[in-house]
Amino acid sequence: MDEPNQTPAEVRLAKARRRFIQALAAGTTVVTLGGIGYAIAGRTDEERLAAELADGGRRRLPPGQRALVEKPEAPAGNQPQPEIEPVVETPPEPKLLRVDATSKQTPRLPPGQTERTTLKPMGGMPGDPSRDAFKLKVYGEVEEELEISFRDLLGFTQIEQTCDVHCVTGWSLLGAIWSGVRVADIAERVKLKDSAKFVIFEAAHGYTANVDIEEALKPNVLVAYEVNQRPLAQAHGSPVRGLVPDRYFWKSAKYLTGIRFTKRDYPGFWETRGYNNHADPWKQERFS
Ligand SMILES: Nc1nc2c(c(=O)[nH]1)N[C@H]1C(S)=C(S)[C@@H](COP(=O)(O)O)O[C@H]1N2
Ligand SMILES: [Mo]
Please list the residues that pair with 210 across neighbouring strands: 200
Q: Could you list the beta-strand ranges (E) of the chain.
A: 30-33, 36-41, 67-70, 96-100, 114-116, 135-140, 146-149, 158-166, 171-182, 198-203, 208-212, 222-227, 230-231, 241-243, 256-262
Cβ atoms of residues 179 and 231 within 8 Å: no
Q: How far apart are CA 45 and CA 47, in angstroms?
A: 5
Q: Which of 116, 120, 122 to mutate to test the pocket of ligand 1 (most atoms within 8 A of CB)?
A: 122
How many Cα atoms occupy the beta-carbon half-sphere of 174 within 13 Å?
12
pLDDT at 84: 73
Cβ density class 80-119: b for 16+ within 10 Å, e for less: eeeeeeeeeeeeeeeeeeebebbbeeeeebbeebeeeeeb
Q: How far is the CA of 154 from the centre of ligand 1 (A)?
A: 24
Which amino acid is residue 189, in one-letter code? R
Rg from Cα positions in the chain: 22
Task: Specify the residue with its C-alpha closest to ligand 1, atom 7.
Answer: 124
CA separation, residue 117 to residues 57, 120, 161, 175, 269 (Å): 21, 9, 17, 9, 27
Q: How far is the CA of 121 from the centre of ligand 1 (A)?
A: 8
Which amino acid is residue 268, in one-letter code? G
Q: How far apart are CA 48 and CA 55, in angstroms?
A: 10
- For the chain, the domains span 8-78, 96-283
pLDDT at 124: 98
pLDDT at 49: 56
Q: CA torsion, points 269, 271, 277, 281, in degrees to nearest 10?
A: -90
Q: How far is the CA of 23 from the centre of ligand 2 (A)?
A: 47
Task: Specify the residue with its C-alpha closest to ligand 1, atom 8.
Answer: 124
Beta carbons within 8 Å of 34's beta carbon, 6+ residues apart: none
CA 97 from centre of chain: 13
Beta carbons within 8 Å of 29's beta carbon, 6+ residues apart: 39, 40
pLDDT at 57: 40
Task: Specify the residue with its C-alpha closest to ligand 1, atom 24.
Answer: 253
| pLDDT values of the chain reduced to their tens digit, one per residue, 288 residues | 567 899 999 999 999 989 988 988 887 544 444 433 333 443 566 655 555 555 444 444 566 665 554 445 555 556 666 677 767 776 667 899 999 999 999 999 999 999 999 999 999 999 999 999 999 999 999 999 999 999 999 999 999 999 999 999 999 999 999 999 999 999 999 999 999 999 999 999 999 999 999 999 999 999 999 999 999 999 999 999 999 999 999 999 999 999 999 999 999 999 999 999 999 999 999 999
CA separation, residue 61 to residues 17, 53, 227, 247 (Å): 16, 12, 20, 35
pLDDT tens for 236-261 read 999 999 999 999 999 999 999 999 99
CA separation, residue 111 to residues 128, 251, 270 (Å): 36, 18, 21
Classify 243 as helix, strand or coil.
strand
Task: Specify the residue with its C-alpha closest to ligand 1, atom 22.
Answer: 250
The CATH architecture of the domain made up of 96-283 is Alpha-Beta Complex (3.90)
Q: Which of 240, 252, 255 to mutate to test the pocket of ligand 1 (most atoms within 8 A of CB)?
A: 252
Q: How far apart are CA 22 and CA 206, in angstroms?
A: 48
Ligand nearest to the CA of 208: 1
Classify 75 as helix, strand or coil.
coil
Task: Specify the residue with its C-alpha closest to ligand 1, atom 16.
Answer: 122
